[in-house]
Amino acid sequence: MRSSLGKAELLIIKNKALAESIIILLVCVFTYAVSVEYDVLEAIVAFSAKHENWDVDELLTVGIVLSFCLSVFSLRRWKELSVTHKTIQRISDVDSLTQLYNRRKMTALLQTEIERGKRYNRDFSVILLDIDQFKSVNDTWGHQVGDTLLCEFSKVLLSNIRSADFVGRWGGEEFLVICPETNQEEALILAEKLRAKIHQYDFTLVGFKTASFGVAGYVGGGEEAILHDADLGLYAAKDAGRNCIRTNHSQLTATPFHGDIELIET
């Protein structure tokens, strides 16, 4: 199924699946009600007595076959509807252009990590990054080339994060990485790895590009707090000349990071 399905098309598919499920359920309920209200076996015997060409065993065989066919059909449709539901769920979670998680899904994942952090006192960090001078790509080569860059950029991110991490398109040329079980020092190391990989990648038509990063570790609070810290770092990285990583100095873990990453005071 195309990931670019519109909301109207998704609604039609979902409503059709719901209608079919209701019809199957009503047929099953109606069949059961009829069998309870009327003595089906007695009716079959009476029918057979009046129609010599139909024996009881033949009528029962027909009934059994019809019941089996209905059961098989119901099971088949249930499986198809289950697959359809999962597909629709996936489409609603994925950005249609980059095939990364969309903002809605990333927000839900972030909330999950915040709840885990509060309940179990577990570390996690976020990395907010932005393609440098992306607007100039659209202005110079057009939006189609810009879309191609976004897709290639997404693949670079996806191929260089860890298996436990989540990455999504946060909006426009901005991306978010959620790093479970990761303190800020470890997130800084991952961010530097991503920065270097992006800097070394030769993108189609536009050549080499860079990205700026803001990193924040969870120290309590809600979604807005940690995203605010990461956003401050990202803006500081832009102000510092791009292609670098910045973080809020007050969010550092006990062991400072000694790489080529500068920190900002807020």
The residues annotated as belonging to the active site are 173
Helices (H) and strands (E) in the chain, counts: 8, 7
Give CA–CA dist 260/210, Å, rounded. 16
Spatial distance between the Cα atoms of 126 and 64, rounded to a whole number of angstroms: 59
3-state secondary structure of 180: strand
Distance CA 107, CA 116 (A): 14
Residue where the block lists tokens 């709840």: 115
Cα 191 from chain centroid (whole Å): 22
Q: Order of strands across the sheet with 211-217? A: 166-171, 174-180, 124-131, 211-217, 245-247
Q: What is the DSSP string of 118-138?
A: HHH---EEEEEEEETTHHHHH
Helix or strand (DSSP H, E) at 177: strand 174-180
Contacts of 119 (CB under 8 A, 6+ apart): none
3-state DSSP assignment of residue 102: coil
- Tokens (6 digits) for 189: 């190391």
